[in-house]
Structure formats: structure tokens, C-alpha cells
Amino acid sequence: MIKMTRVATVGAAAAGLMAFLVPNVMASSPGQQPPAAPAKGGPHGKPAPSPQTLRALADRAGIHIGTAVNADALAGEPQYADLVGAQFNSVTPENAMKWDAVEPTRGTYNYTQADQLVAFAKAHGQLVRGHTLVWHNQLPSWVTAGDFSAAELREILHQHITAEVSHFKGKIWQWDVVNEAFNEDGTLRDSIWLQKLGPGYIADAFRWAHQADPKAILFYNDYNIDGVNPKSNAVYDLVSSLRKQGVPIQGVGDQGHLDVQYPAPHDIATNLARFDKLGVQTAITEADVRIPLPADNTEVEAQNEAYQTLLEGCLLTRHCTDFTVWGFTDKYSWVPGTFTGEGQANIYDENYQPKTAYTAISQDLTLAGR
Ligand code: XIL
């Protein structure tokens, strides 16, 4: 019973947005099966018509479509790599640019996996989102257990940002400079950075990143900021204040990690529109929609609509430039390892077959034409 109520809310929201965006799409069946994996050849040797890729549709819609990329899968699984190259025109390293991957011991940098992704992106005509420079997670123990003075830690952060952004200078489209700095109530998260450096660490991080690569577009990135709520209000106030001070921040990333157990963010377009007015761009940076397992048909339908709610929010926002999914296949999703009993959050299944969520995204992109 509870489930039905929640689903009805998600469905109503998506239907509302959809009607505004593309009235005629409501005639199509949301549960219809997507095309199977691209056919290599039709009967009698004739080439089969190939379905439009997401990136071809996104090009026409004037938006970038991206995916987070698992470095091991990219290197080891041709089918994975083929789909990254064919379907997306932007990529984000899922882990390879995080602090623990890049600077596992002080002053020793390892860019091997990140460089491989940047090279892959160049070969496939893709843009790269850099992720992420300042975060409370995936920090090496030499940072967290180092017992540094404030001055030392500030210099360590400065060095890390300068080294990493300089290494990739000219190759990164958008950098997630600061990630997840707020609590749900809009107060600043009690991270090592806030504790030791005070709230000024945020402005410092943007200034240092800008010095190292003046052309990269610098983002603040967080979750649960899809709609208007205390956390997104705090992000709005932060960005407004930083812009007034002349701090180089040019974008806000809405991660978009959703769960069919909760209503989809109906007011996402309202939320993103206010960032347009501040003069920054926005992006959906980590979209996925998890389901308590086993998933039933109603939950799958809610998932399709939740993906559409996020994408339509972006399409309706003039300066929302990209929509990135946090991995495209259930085979390599972070969800089962993080949210007990949940999964099937992505747009392809574990066997690389596109799911109905893929169709839902294709439909929105097909009809967007902005
Ligand atoms: C996750 C990765 O997907 C996992 O592989 C890793 O173990 C933990 O981090 N918000 C973020 C991402 O900004 O970097 C996180 O990625 C998911 C939540």
C-alpha cells in the first residue's frame, strides 16, 4: 500500500514534467522493451537498421550524456568499453581521480588509470568530468591520521589540488572541485577539512583549482540537492556568496542518486532554474535509481519515471549541460555494496542488455529538441 502511494507520486511528477516538455510522448507505452543490443547484420546479409545511440540523440538535444567509468572494466572487458565509447559523449572516472587513487602516499602521484580514461575519451571524442578534488571519503590514511597542524593540512590540500589539476590541464571539461560538503539540514559537514581549516577551505579549493587550469569549468557537487530543500538552499547560498566574492565557481552538480522508495524530485526544474539565474551551469552528475530487491514491475516503472524526472529537469533548464549516469550497467554498480538489499539501479542489466530505463532516457532525448 505504501509502495503504491509512493509510486503514484513519482508517476504523477514524471507525467507532469513530460506533458510540459513533450506532449506527444504520453501516447507511447512506458513499459515497452528497448531495442536489443545493436544488431551486427540483418537477414540475407543486409545491415540491420541500428538504433540511435544515446550520444547521437543527446547531440541533437544539445546536451551531453555521460557515464561513470570503472577503470578495471574499461581495461578488461571489450563489451564494456565498446558501450562506453558508443553510447556516451562524456565520461567520469568512478574512482581513478580520487585522492586515495592519485596520491596514496604523500607526494607520490599515480595517474595511470586516470590517464587511460583520458586517452580513451580523446580517442572516442568524449569530454571528461574530473571527480573529485576535495571530499571527506576515499582519503588515504596519511591524510586522515597525519595529525597535521592547520597550516600543514592547508598546504597539503593546496599541493594536491595544484598537482592533480596541473597534470590534467587542458584535458578536463568540468572538475568536481568540492564534493558533499553539506549535511541534509544545510549545515556544513564536520569533515577533516571543516574541522581543521574552517569553512574557507571551499573558496580556497576553487581558487587553487582555477590557478592550475583556468579553462576548466569548476563545480560544487552533492547529493539530495535535486529539489528545493534545506541542503539545496545551503548550496544556493554558498554559490551566491562565492560568486559575489569573485571566487571562480561555474557549476553545480546534482548527483541524482535516487531510490524508488522515495518520491522522485518533482521540483527539480524549479531548483535548477535558480542556479541559472546565479549565472552558473548545472549538471546531473551521478544518476542512478536503486530498487529494493527483488524488483517488481511497479518499481521498475517508478525507476523509469525517476530517470525521466532527472533528465527532464535538466532538459528544462537552459544551462543544465550534462546528464551523467553513475555507471551504465548493473554489473558494476556501487549500489549493492553500499545499500543493503538494493540494486538494479542502472540502465543496462548485468548482461549488457538495455533496460526499459534506457528506453525512457532515449525517448526524452528524442523528443527534447531544445
Ligand atoms: C562511489 C563509487 O561508485 C564506488 O566504487 C566507491 O567505492 C565509493 O564511491 N558520491 C560520489 C561518488 O561522489 O564518488 C561515489 O562513488 C558515490 C557517491
Distance 99 CA to ligand 1 centre (A): 12
Count of positions (residues) in the chain: 370
Active site residue 94: no
d(CA 27, CA 7): 20
Closest-lying ligand 1 atom to the alpha carbon of residue 176 = 13
d(CA 162, CA 208): 6
Closest-lying ligand 1 atom to the alpha carbon of residue 179 = 13
- Mutation pick for ligand 1 pocket among 72, 94, 258 (CB with most ligand atoms within 8 Å): 94
Distance 137 CA to ligand 1 centre (A): 9
d(CA 361, CA 135): 30
Distance 335 CA to ligand 1 centre (A): 9
Residues with CB under 6 A from ligand 1: 94-95, 179, 255, 286, 334
Asked whether the beta carbons of 239 and 182 are under 8 A apart, the reply is no
Extended beta strands in 188-319, E state: 217-222, 251-254, 257-259, 281-292
Q: Which residue among 94, 164, 286, 342 is the active-site one?
A: 286
Give residue 369's pLDDT: 72
d(CA 339, CA 159): 34
User: At a CB cut-off of 8 Å and minimum separation 6, what does 193 contact?
Assistant: 134, 136, 157, 181, 201
User: Most distant CA pair in the chain: distance in Å?
Assistant: 73
List the residue whose alpha carbon is closest to atom 4 of ligand 1. Answer: 334
Exposed, middle or buried by CB within 10 Å (0-12, 13-18, 19+), for 149?
Answer: exposed
- Mutation pick for ligand 1 pocket among 67, 102, 136, 137 (CB with most ligand atoms within 8 Å): 137
Active site residue 164: no
pTM tops 0.95, yes or no = no
- Mutation pick for ligand 1 pocket among 67, 70, 72, 95 (CB with most ligand atoms within 8 Å): 95
Query: What does the pLDDT profile of the chain (370 residues) look like in tens digits?
Result: 233 333 333 334 444 444 444 333 333 333 334 444 443 333 444 555 456 999 999 999 999 999 999 999 999 999 999 999 999 999 999 999 999 999 999 999 999 999 999 999 999 999 999 999 999 999 999 999 999 999 999 999 999 999 999 999 999 999 999 999 999 999 999 999 999 999 999 999 999 999 999 999 999 999 999 999 999 999 999 999 999 999 999 999 999 999 999 999 999 999 999 999 999 999 999 999 999 999 999 999 999 999 999 999 999 999 999 999 999 999 999 999 999 999 999 999 999 999 999 999 999 999 997 5
- What is the DSSP code (8-state) at residue 143? H
